[in-house]
Chains A and B, each alone.
Chain A
Amino acid sequence: MNTQELAELERAMGQCWDIAQRFGIDPFPTHFDVVPATIMYEFGAYGLPGRFSHWTHGRAYQQIKTMYDYGLSRIYELVINANPAYAFLLENNSVLQNKLVVAHVLGHSDFFKHNAYFAPTSRQMLETVGVHAERLRRYEYEHGPEKVEEFLDAVLSIQEHIDPFPDMRRKENAAPDKPQKPHETAYDDLFYLGSEKRPEPAPVSRKNPPEPEKDLLLFIAANARELEDWQRDAIHMVHDEQLYFVPQMQTKIMNEGWAAYWHLRILRELDLTQDEYVQFAELHANVLAPSKRSINPYYVGLKIWEDIERRWDAPTAEEREKLGRRGGEGKAKIFEVRAQENDASFIRNYLTKDLVEELDLYLYKQENGKWVIVEKDWEKIRDMLVRSMTNFGQPYIVVEDGDYNRNHELYLRHCYEGQDLDVDYAERTLRYVYRLWGRTVHLETVMDDKQVVLTYDGDRARTRVGEAVKS
């Protein structure tokens, strides 16, 4: 983009902002940086600029860049959830393309600011990851790059297993606690002197964790015996960075749909030439193209948002009567949904039968070397989608016991909900968990309707098949 184009874009950005305000969306102040493709792909691969070095980032970078070099796909936009928000524009995009990206980014930024799941995220993550990278570099200097890399490999292999809302759960768990006896003093036992029935002190549970713990990273950082300080620090770094990414994983469809919804409406308001309008339509259609073997979050998200708006604007007679919808509340409703829901609830609550048919959604499976559609029933499709979004698509794994066999072994349990684990991967991941924990590790799961415990003791992997589980 040359200076003239930059000036035009800057003008359009101001207009986009004003239009957005008029529509009632309220983004963080947003700074845009125009960058070359390589930088865009690097940031895409790392998730955040300035993040720590690791070969998996290098691999992601190579993959994204290869796709771009072969013209197979390109990233148009990258926006960082921060206050002020920080977004990147591709240098070799046309002005129109970048106008669309600006409008799209304002949608994301509004979502970051107002969606409940983003409320606990740090808005200074850019600075934080820079500090983390710096510290890890120092650890590399002190302990050797191989050692740090090996350890990071292990941490990253279970990085998804954190608990984004620990307070919520702790409160729930705390509720059934017995109320403490009032006035317990050191002299209480005097009351029972000479009497036979002196109450037994309540047995103290020594179980660690007292309740199943979802946050593997924090549990290991706090309880693994052999870790050095820098290693515990590295676990915390990965944990904190992951906390930042979780809400984005939880709201992919909503967030992209929301941004698509607004880029469409903002660009319609801009004063575009006919040529630009054609470019815009083409780009928009590209972004929304459905995919045979996955769900395009832009498309599905946008359709659901528009459907919600329509149904609350013009409810049917039945909806008016039974649900008390007055009509004309479409905008209010989508802003409310934007503030409160995540993908799982969004799909559960708003993916209707009509929508499933209109979007032509289906479930497919591998049969005899082919991918075959096996399900068109809308409720089954919806439920499968919701399941695949629960715990942002990751298996739900908890620490059951940090002192299993009274031997400080780690016992993990996969909370089975009908989907089997990839055994090969599970076994290999367990080796990494062992590297962190330093003693024998177990993972309980269900396979082919049988309870199975995988074990790795640092030397051998074992599999114990237990009883059949009722499904």
Chain B
Amino acid sequence: MLQHTVSLSKQDWSLHRKGPIDQARHNQKVKEAIKRNLADIVSEESIITSDGSKVVKIPIRSLDLPHFRYDTRRNQQPGQGTGGSKVGDVIGQSGDPQGQGPGKGPGAGEMPGIDYYEAEITIDELAALVFEDLGLPNLEDKGKAEVVSPDVRFNEIRKHGPMSNLDKRRTLLENLRRNARDGHAVVGGVQNDDLRFKTWVEDVRQETNAVVIAMRDVSGSMGEFEKYITRSFYFWMVRFLRTKYDHVQIVFITHHTEAKEVDEDAFFNLGESGGTKVSSAYQLALDIVNDRYPPALWNIYPFHFSDGDNWGEVDNQRCLDIVRQLLTMCNIFGYGEIQEGGRRSISTLMSAFQHIDDPKFLGVTITSKEDVFPALRRFFSTREAVPA
């Protein structure tokens, strides 16, 4: 009788996969949304100041399905106390001091009804998206034999090997397993049979030699914005070169009226002042190339970021001469001129460079944060190959 009214069953649901499949589609859309917004994300301050392993949260508002709804921020909402609440009681922080306009970024979940999606992604994953189809342009095979470098990777486990390569964790596990087979699941009495060793394979890759010369203007005329843009461009460039190429060398040069070669830390953190003589940096780059990186063996990529405020026409002319020399040896020469808000003064370096009609010269003007990403894509696009 009861069987006809209530019944109970338990089935095997292990093959049911609908939820995870649609979840995967959602995650894919998150990635697409991030890609669409890369220009904004790339110049995000919190990202370029963090180290690579860090997880950053990226709000993606375009990802929820909009519908007609009330503006919950302007309207009163019902809630419930535990007794004795009165007008004026504070029941929580909304995290949005202005209290105007939806979507101005309250903490996720704080707000009833505000539900934009916050994607979590590591900088490395982000970098992979940024550089997905980028590479060093005009890369040529030069002096391959010179740089065949054996890459050693520990990726196998064997029963024999030098004691120094003993894999202790696996050895203990083996020991525990053997003891457990005998009925005592304890660690102890390690025998030769338990020992496990890490062993390596030699991963021989043929690498092409390339050197990137990063030049940065640190003169007094470089304002906060100019420094910021330079830093974020070079942050991504360095990250890009390191993830994509094993053997690319990077030379860091800073300059005001004088140029000097610095290490990476100093390059990113230096803030000096003084006048500007760009030719000093170019001369130094030229010297370094002549000294250490013979063009016959190396692919050479000089980049320079500046506000374009150089010390007079004379020096501009000198720059032009040196750049012409460099162009004969390098694969591309990238120059980025940063002009906040697009102000244009005619006597900038960029106008001097207009006389260069070598396709290997790439000039980019950056007027806002959003231009960093297009600049990266222009400099490192391998698709629109520049004729040699």
Contacts and interface: CB of A to CB of B under 8 A. Distances in A.
Contact of B93 (A56, A158, A371): A371
Interface in B1-38: 2, 4-11, 13, 16, 18-27, 29
Contacts of B82: 290, 360
A397 B68 contact: yes
A35 B72 CA distance: 37
A278 interface: no
A195 interface: no
Interface in B38-75: 65-75
Contacts of B21: 53, 58
A143 interface: no
A468 interface: no
Contact of A375 (B5, B67, B87): B87
A96 B99 CA distance: 46
B76 A364 contact: yes
A266 interface: no
B6 A425 contact: no
Given A33-B9, A156-B65, A361-B78, A422 B70 contact: yes
A153 B90 CA distance: 38
Given A53-B22, A59-B26, A157-B65, A290 B92 contact: no
B164 interface: no
Nearest to A425: B66
Contacts of B91: 292-293, 364, 371-373
Interface in A1-42: 1, 6, 9-10, 13-14, 16-17, 29-36, 38-39, 41-42
B252 to A, nearest CB: 43
Interface string A127-139: 0000000000000
Contact of A373 (B2, B7, B87): B87
B84 interface: yes
Contact of B92 (A45, A153, A371): A371
Given A33-B11, A294-B112, A17 B94 contact: no
A326 interface: no
A414 interface: yes
Given A34-B10, A61-B23, A62-B23, A371 B90 contact: yes
Contact of A31 (B7, B102, B117): B7
A328 B274 CA distance: 94
B85 interface: yes
Interface in A391-427: 394-395, 397, 414, 419-426
A33 B78 contact: no
Interface stretch (A226-234, A295-303, A312-320): A295-303
A143 B45 CA distance: 43
B344 interface: no
Contacts of B103: 424
A357 B300 CA distance: 78
What is the interface of chain B mostly: helix, strand, loop, or mixed? Answer: loop
Interface in A96-133: 102
B294 interface: no
A429 B67 contact: yes
B85 A17 contact: no
A372 B77 CA distance: 10
A127 B369 CA distance: 53
A471 B78 CA distance: 22
A395 B67 CA distance: 10
Contact of A295 (B18, B67, B80, B99): B80
B79 A293 contact: yes
B86 A373 contact: yes
Interface string A72-105: 0000000000000000010100000000001000
Interface string B86-122: 1111111111110101110000000010000100000
A134 to B, nearest CB: 13
Contact of A30 (B5, B19, B92): B5
Nearest to A382: B78
Nearest to B76: A363
Given A58-B21, A360-B80, A395 B26 contact: no
A434 B79 CA distance: 37
A59 B60 CA distance: 13
Contacts of B183: none
A270 B316 CA distance: 93
Contacts of B22: 53-55, 57-58, 61
Contact of B68 (A13, A55, A395): A395
Nearest to A445: B68
Contact of B71 (A360, A420, A428): A420
Given A13-B6, A58-B24, A370-B94, A362 B70 contact: no
B110 to A, nearest CB: 9
A27 B153 CA distance: 67
A29 B11 CA distance: 20
In this complex, the interface size class of chain A, counting residues with CB under 8 Å from chain B, is 35 or more
A16 B21 CA distance: 38
Contacts of A34: 8-10
Q: Which of A1, A89, A414, A419 has the most CB of B within 10 A?
A: A419
Contacts of A442: none
Contacts of A16: 6
A285 interface: no
B342 interface: no
B341 interface: no
Contacts of B69: 394-395, 421-422, 425
Given A30-B5, A421-B70, A55 B87 contact: no
A26 B92 CA distance: 43
B83 interface: yes
B65 A367 contact: no
A368 interface: yes
Nearest to A426: B68
B79 A362 contact: yes
Contact of A429 (B68, B78, B95, B101): B68
B81 interface: yes
Contact of B85 (A59, A376, A397): A376
Contacts of B7: 30-32
Contact of A36 (B13, B73, B85): B13
A385 interface: yes
A224 interface: no
A29 B68 contact: no
A38 B71 contact: no
A283 to B, nearest CB: 19
A419 B80 contact: no
A420 B70 contact: yes
A291 interface: yes
Nearest to A35: B13
Nearest to A98: B8
Given A34-B9, A39-B13, A292-B92, A364 B77 contact: yes
B76 A375 contact: yes
B354 to A, nearest CB: 36
Nearest to B95: A369
Interface string A339-377: 000000000000000000001111111111111111110
20 contacts: A17-B6, A53-B25, A56-B65, A158-B67, A292-B92, A361-B80, A362-B78, A365-B76, A366-B96, A367-B99, A370-B92, A370-B94, A372-B89, A372-B91, A373-B86, A373-B87, A374-B76, A376-B87, A426-B68, A428-B66
A-B interface, 9 closest residue pairs, ranked by CB to CB distance from nearest:
A58-B22, A42-B19, A58-B26, A428-B66, A369-B97, A360-B81, A58-B23, A34-B10, A290-B80
Given A45-B19, A89-B8, A158-B67, 11 more contacts: A33-B8, A33-B9, A34-B9, A294-B79, A364-B79, A366-B99, A369-B99, A370-B94, A374-B76, A375-B87, A414-B68
